[in-house]
Structure 1
Amino acid sequence: MQRRILLSAGLALPIGSAWASPERFPARPITLICPWPPGGSSDAVMRAFAESAAAALGVPVVVESRPGVGGTLGATAMLRAAPDGYTLTQLPLGIYRLPHMQKMPFDPLKDLTHVIGLSGYTFGLAAMLDAPYKSLQEMVAWARAHPGMLTYGHTGTGTTPHLAVEEFAHLAGFKTQDVPFKGSAEITQAILGGHVQMMSGTLEFAPHVRAGKLRLLATLGSQRTKAFPDTPTVKESGWDTVTESPFGIGGPKGMDPAVVRVLHDAFKKTLMDPKVLETLDKFQQPVIYKSTEEYGRYAVRIFEAERLTIARMGLAKKG
C-alpha cells in the first residue's frame, strides 16, 4: 500500500520537476582540452576562458593539456568522447589543414560539433639579437647568400607558423632549415639559448623583444599589431603573404543543440570578461566571435581554403 502511494505521488509530480526531468546541463565538471604544452600563450588563454566559463556555467571547467601532432590531439580525442558536452577542445587552424597533408584519424567537418569562435593568434618572426641581420630585408638577403643555413623554430610540421615561413621563403626565394617544437614556449627558450637563429610563433616572445633580448623582424597578419606599431608586416615589406589563425571551441559530433546553446552562451559571456580580455591583450589575440552557425560555415570554407593552399605548396598527401 505504501509503495502504491509513493508511485502515485511520483506520477503526480509536474513535468518540470527534478524527478521527471533529465539531468540538468551542466551537472558536473567539464573538460576543456588545450592541444598545446603548459606554460605557453595558448595554455594561458584557454585557462582564462575556462575560469570565466566555469563562473557562467556553475561547474568547474578543467583544462587538460594534450600537446603534439600540430595541435590536433584535441580533435582526435573527440572521436572517443561522449557527445554530452562534458568534453570540449580548442580547435586550432591545423585541424583543417593536416588532413590534406597526411592521414588523420578524424574528419574536421564530420567528426566535430563547432560550438563557438572566440579569438585568433597573431604571429611574428623574431630573431636572435646577434643574428647577422637586423631587418626582414637583411634576413632575406642573408638567407639567399647562405642557402639552407637559416635555422628557425616553429610549433610543429604543418602548423600555421611553419607553413607561414615556408610560403614566405618560397615567395622570397630562399631556403631554410626548420626545427619543430611542441609550442611557442619551447621555441622561445631555444632561441634565447642560441639553438635557432629565428622563430615563427605567437607574440608571447614580446616581453623578450621589449627587454632587448630578441629582435622582431615582422608580423604576419594583414595589419600591424598595436603592441609593435613600428614593426611592418611581411606584406608591407614587399611579399604578398598574410597569415591569420582564428580558433574556437568544439566537441564531438552529435551533440544536443540545447547543450550546444548553453555552452555557446557561456563562452560568449567570457568575451566580455575583463580578465579574459586582459589575457587576450597580453598575447595580442583579438576577439573574433563566431556564432555556432557562423563557426560551422567557417569550418567548411577554411577546410577548402587549406586544401587549395596545401596543393599550391606541393604538400598534399599522396593517394
Structure 2
Amino acid sequence: MQSSTVISPKVETYPNKPITVIVPFSAGSGSDLVARALEKTALKYLDQPLIVVNRPGGTGTICWNELANASPDGYALGITSSELFLQPLFVSTKYNYSVSLDPLAQITATPFVMAVRTDQPLQTVADLISYAKQHPGQLKFGHPGIGSLGHIVAETFSKTAGITMNQVPFQGATEEIAALLGGHIQVIFLTPGAIKEYVKSGMIKILAVASEQHLNDPVLANAQTFQEQGIDISYNNRFGIAIPKETPVDVKTKLVERLDAIITDPEFKKDIENTGLQFEYLGPKESEERWLIDNENLSKAVQETGIVDLIKSQKQ
C-alpha cells in the first residue's frame, strides 16, 4: 500500500514587502530624523526596507488620519509625537488617535528648546523677559503649529514669565528656522535635533531647555534649563511608532520583536543621539501607560495656557 504525502501550502512570512513609515511633520523635523534613523537600520532586522513618507500639515492629523485609515496588515507604520493627544482636544478629528492606534515603542523623550539668533541682543532668558516687558507684544515667536507642543511650551513660558509675545505658526522646523534666520521672528521653540547644526555653526543659540536635565549631546549640553533660570517648565516630546488598532496580534508581535532589535542596536542609538534627540526606549505596554499620563497632562496644559480658547476664537 503506497503512502501519500500531504504537502502543506506555503505560509507567507511577514514582512514580504517594503513597509511604509508615515511621518507627521516635514523633512528635518524631529519625527523625520527618527524615521530616517529607523530606515537606515531596518533592513538589518526586518529583511525589508522601510519607505519614509512625509505627510506634514494639520499638526500631525494628516499623517495620523492616514495611518488610522490604513490597512491593518503591518505594512503601514506611523511616527507618533506628543501632539497625538492634542488635536482631538481642539477640533473634531476623524479619529481619536489614542484609541484608533496602538503604540509599539517609544524611541525618544526630547524636551523642546527656546532659541534665538546668536547675533541678536537677547542672549539670556532674563534678557528676553526684560525686553518683552518693556516692549509688550513686539517679540514674535515661531512654533510648529497652533496647538502643537512647541506652541504649548511657548505659551507656558510667556504665562509663567508674565510677558506677551506674538505667536507665528509654521508647517515644520525648516520653515521656522528660515524665518528666524531671516529676521521675520525673534524666538523659536523646537526640538534640539532640528537646530543642532545651526548651534554647532554658531548661527543659533539655545536660551533654555524645557527639561529637568541638560541635553546629552555634547554640542548642546551647555544649554541651561528653564528651571535653572527660575522658570518652572518641563515638557518632553516623545517620538514613537504606532500601527492601526486592528492589526493582527501575530503581526504586532513580530513587529515589536524586530523593532526591539532595531531600537536597541548600538548604532541606532548612536544615530538618534547624533541628531540631538534624547534616546529613551519603552516597549508597547510602557508606551501605552505613558500615553495615558501625557494625555492627562496636556489636556490640563491647553486649558491653562488659553490655547483652547484661541483655537475656538479662530473658528468663529
**Length-normalised TM-score, structure 1:** 0.89
Check the 8 A contact 2:80/2:242 in 1, yes or no: yes
Q: How many angstroms does 1:293 deviate by?
A: 1.6
In the TM superposition, what are the counterparts of 1:82-121 in structure 2 within 5 Å?
Answer: 82-121=71-110
| 1:4 alignment counterpart | none
Residue identity over aligned pairs, in percent, reads 28
Give the match's secondary structure for 2:226: coil
Q: Report whether the alignment pairs 1:222 with 2:212.
A: yes
Give the match's secondary structure for 1:110: helix
| CA distances 1:186-232 after superposition (whole Å, capped 9, x unpaired) | 21222112121111102232222232222221111121113333321
**What's the C-alpha RMSD, in Å, of the aligned pairs?**
1.9
Q: Report whether the alignment pairs 1:66 with 2:58.
A: no
Give the match's secondary structure for 1:132: coil
Aligned length: 304
Q: Report whether the alignment pairs 1:78 with 2:29.
A: no
Check the 8 A contact 1:132/1:142 in 2, yes or no: no
Moved more, 128-137 or 249-258: 128-137
Q: Report whether the alignment pairs 1:211 with 2:238.
A: no
Give the match's secondary structure for 2:158: helix
In 2, Cα distance between equivalents of 1:125 and 1:298: 25
The 3 A distance-change label for structure 1 pair 316 and 186 is closer
In 1, Cα distance between equivalents of 2:133 and 2:72: 51
| 2:180 alignment counterpart | 191
In 2, Cα distance between equivalents of 1:28 and 1:206: 35
Mark the structure with the bigger radius of gyration: 1
Which aligned segments of 4 or more residues in structure 1 are displaced greater than 4 angstroms?
A: none
| 2:253 alignment counterpart | 261
Moved more, 207-216 or 104-113: 207-216
In the TM superposition, what are the counterparts of 1:1-319 in structure 2 within 5 Å?
Answer: 12-13=6-7, 17=8, 19=9, 21=11, 23-203=12-192, 204-226=194-216, 227=218, 228-316=220-308
User: Structure 1 regions of 5+ residues with no counterpart?
Assistant: 1-7
The 3 A distance-change label for structure 1 pair 314 and 179 is closer
In 1, Cα distance between equivalents of 2:40 and 2:196: 25
Q: How many angstroms does 1:20 deviate by?
A: 5.4
Give the match's secondary structure for 1:88: strand
User: Structure 2 regions of 5+ residues with no counterpart?
Assistant: none
Q: What letter matches 2:197 in structure 1?
A: P
Q: How many angstroms does 1:41 deviate by?
A: 4.0
Check the 8 A contact 2:68/2:243 in 1, yes or no: no
Q: What letter matches 1:210 in structure 2?
A: K
**Length-normalised TM-score, structure 2:** 0.90
In 1, Cα distance between equivalents of 2:45 and 2:87: 34
